[in-house]
Amino acid sequence: MKKTEKFRQLLDSTQLDFLCEAHNGISAVIAEEAGFKGIWGSGLSLSAQFGVRDNNEASWTQVLEMLEFMSDATRVPILLDGDTGYGNFNNMRRLVKKLEQRDIAAVCIEDKLFPKTNSFIQGQAQPLADIEEFCGKIKAGKDAQSDDNFSIIARVEAFIAGWGLSEALKRAEAYKNAGADAILIHSALGTPDEVLAFKREWADRLPVAIVPTKYYATATEVFRSHGFALVIWANHLLRAAIAAMQQTAQSLAADQNLFSVEDRVVPVSEVFRLQGAVELQEAEKKYLPLRQRGVQALVLAASRGMELGELTEQRPKTMVNVAGRPLLAHIVDALNATGIKNISVVRGYKKETVDLPNLNLIDNDEFEDSGELLSLLKGLRGVRPDQDLIVCYGDVLFNKYIVQILAESEDALAIAIDTNWIESANRHRQADYAHCSMPHSREAFSARVTLEHIGADIAPTGIHGEWMGFIKISADEIAAVVAVVEEMLRDAAMRRAKLPDLLNLLVASGRRVQVHYTTGHWLDIDSLDDVLHAGNF
């Protein structure tokens, strides 16, 4: 059912119904969740949330913009407090069209002059609109609507201006004849005497709505017994929010901590719930390609790095200073530069020193009698299962494009191979060499090259490059890799196994490990000389 139809049902029902004020998307959701069948887009509250007076200081286009958020966030109809229609008959025609475009069910306009003043501020000094001019505005609005169920409610301000019952009845009758769908009779008295007198005389010629802000002590049963159609709680969510915000702000200013207010505010998760965060997460699963859901990184940094001697007596290799900052900080910067913000680090030796912010820290307290595979297993169990993963060591400096190549690939498993392997051989440094399905060449640029073997035992004629310590594992493949690693670690002889052992086993089992050739632009920190060279990387 359309929102306009839902609102017409509220007007035409023989039962008393209630509208609750809302002034933005989240307050509209709160009102709907509370059970209200409709929402009052209060002019006072809408202007207040902008921080301006209820004197048409907020433009009608600003009001429309906020209404659009409110309408999109809810399924119940919204009745806009449209002040005087924001101008003459022409403004009214345009307003109705724009409201219908935003799925607003109805508008209420009051018979005062533009710009209006709130009815509770010197109401008796406020002039009323000419009856014929206001009737023309109603007619123009009705002629402009394209949905027959769109409603225009005429708000009679005769009591507010001090003109009495006869003037109120005269105006209501004229507005009825002009095509108004309902009458809102307003009063500033602390008792309902005026609105009850009007309803007795008016009977049921049109549905009547009231706003009992001033006569709040009146029992609702009185309104029900007199046959009113709608009761509007016109500004109470705003007023409640102001009281809560004032109290919270005062506490924060005085106490300078969050302890005193935390129990009085909702958790952030409740804000996310009201915003519909869960729906977006479900939509992402449905509509986003997996590789666009984000890429995460896992840094293996549990070992000490004995080869660096005194530099790692009080901290692991990953926290050794390079150019004035820990090596791990440079790794995090490079990952961040590729857009990877979700970074997990497996720590072990002197783990308390691995304390950089914004990292998911995973402990491997068995680092002394285990190898890289156990750290990998603990890391895989601690990362998100729905994001692709880049695994790297905690002692490697690299340019960001190396990670970008892997992160942007659609391969389930992939590694980066440096074609400049001869330099490592000439320096007699320990390296993991790779033999691939084809060597680096122009043909390999457009071919799908796969790993065939990795290790230090490859004859020079069979070496196609040096593995750089990076593995890309797609989200769909993480669980399978976990199962393989778990199986490997059941063999006591594999407890100190390394990542190349895993890669060889994956290849031997028939899995394709895609190779992406690069040349240089990385540095493995294996010696004190490497630390010195790293400062110039």
Report DSSP letters for 20-69, one per residue.
EEE-SHHHHHHHHHTT-SEEEE-HHHHHHHTT--TTT-S-HHHHHHHHHH
Mean pLDDT of 380-396: 95
**8-state DSSP, 171:** H
Residues paired with residue 301 on neighbouring β-strands, in sequence order:
347
The whole-number pLDDT of residue 85 equals 95
What's the mean pLDDT in 111-115?
A: 84
pLDDT per residue over 453-472, tens digit each?
999 889 999 999 999 999 99
- The CA distance from 22 to 235, in Å, is 8
Query: Average pLDDT for residues 231-242, to the nearest whole number?
Result: 97
Q: Work out the mean pLDDT of the chain and round it to a whole number.
A: 92
What is the pLDDT confidence band of residue 111, given thresholds at 50, 70 and 90?
Answer: very high
User: How high is the pLDDT of residue 531?
Assistant: 73
Task: Let me know: does 91 contact 126? Beta carbons within 8 Å.
Answer: no
Tens digits of residue pLDDT in 486-522: 999 999 999 999 999 999 999 999 999 999 999 888 8
Contacts of 224 (CB under 8 A, 6+ apart): 16
Residue 413 pairs with which residues in a beta bridge? 473
Average pLDDT of the residues in 296-321: 93
56-65, 168-177, 421-430 — which one is most confidently predicted on average?
Answer: 168-177
530 given a catalytic annotation: no
Q: Tell me if 159 sits within 8 A of 186, measured CB to CB.
A: yes
Q: Where on the phi/psi map is residue 382: left (φ > 0), alpha (ψ -120 to 50), or beta?
A: alpha
pLDDT reported for residue 54: 87
Question: Span 289-300, mean pLDDT?
Answer: 79
**Residue 237 vs residue 457, higher pLDDT:** 237
Calculate what percentage of the chain has a pLDDT beyond 90: 82
Cβ–Cβ under 8 Å, residues 82 and 104:
no
pLDDT at 535 > cutoff 80: no
Residue 286's pLDDT is 84
pTM above 0.85, yes or no: no
pLDDT at 291: 52
69 CB burial (10 A radius; 0-12, 13-18, 19+): middle
- Among the residue ranges 114-118, 342-346, 405-409, the one predicted with the least confidence is 114-118
Q: Assign residue 469 a region: left if phi > 0, alpha if psi is -120 to 50, beta otherwise?
A: left
Question: What is the pLDDT confidence band of residue 475, given thresholds at 50, 70 and 90?
Answer: very high
Could you please report the per-residue DSSP string of 302-361? -S--GGGGGGGSSS-GGGSEETTEEHHHHHHHHHHHTT---EEEEE-TTGGG---TT-EE
Q: How many CB atoms lie within 10 A of CB 355?
A: 12
CB neighbour list of residue 117: distance below 8 Å, 6 or more residues apart: 54, 55, 126
User: How sure is the predictor about 524, in pLDDT bands with cuts at 50, 70 and 90?
Assistant: confident
The residue ranges of every structural domain in the chain are: 3-243, 256-287, 290-534
Fold match, 3-243 / 290-534: no
Residue 120 predicted with pLDDT over 70 = no
Q: How far is CA 280 from CA 60, 67, 360, 459, in A?
A: 31, 22, 24, 53
Q: Average of pLDDT values for 421-437?
A: 78
Q: How far apart are CA 256 and CA 266, in angstroms?
A: 19
pLDDT band at 430 (very low <50, low <70, confident <90, very high): confident
Query: Residue 530: pLDDT above 80?
Result: no
Give DSSP secondary structure letters for 444-472.
HHHS--BEEEEES---GGG--EEEEEEEE
What pLDDT is attached to residue 117? 66
pLDDT at 123 over 60: no
**The pLDDT of residue 244 is above 80:** yes
Q: Given 54, 111, 411, 418, which residue is catalytic?
A: 54
Q: Does domain 290-534 have CATH number 3.90.550.10?
A: yes
Does residue 77 have a cis peptide bond before it, meaning omega lies within 30 degrees of 0?
A: no
pLDDT tens figures, 334-360: 999 999 999 999 999 999 999 999 999
DSSP tag of 494: G
Phi, psi of 373 (to 5 degrees): -65, -40
Residue 121 is predicted with a pLDDT of 61
Q: Would residue 228 be called left, alpha or beta, if left means φ above 0 and alpha means ψ between -120 and 50 degrees?
A: beta
Q: Tell me, which fold does domain 3-243 have in CATH?
A: TIM Barrel (3.20.20)
Question: Would the pLDDT of 90 be above 80?
Answer: yes
Of 455, 465, 336, which is closest to residue 403 (Cα–Cα)?
336
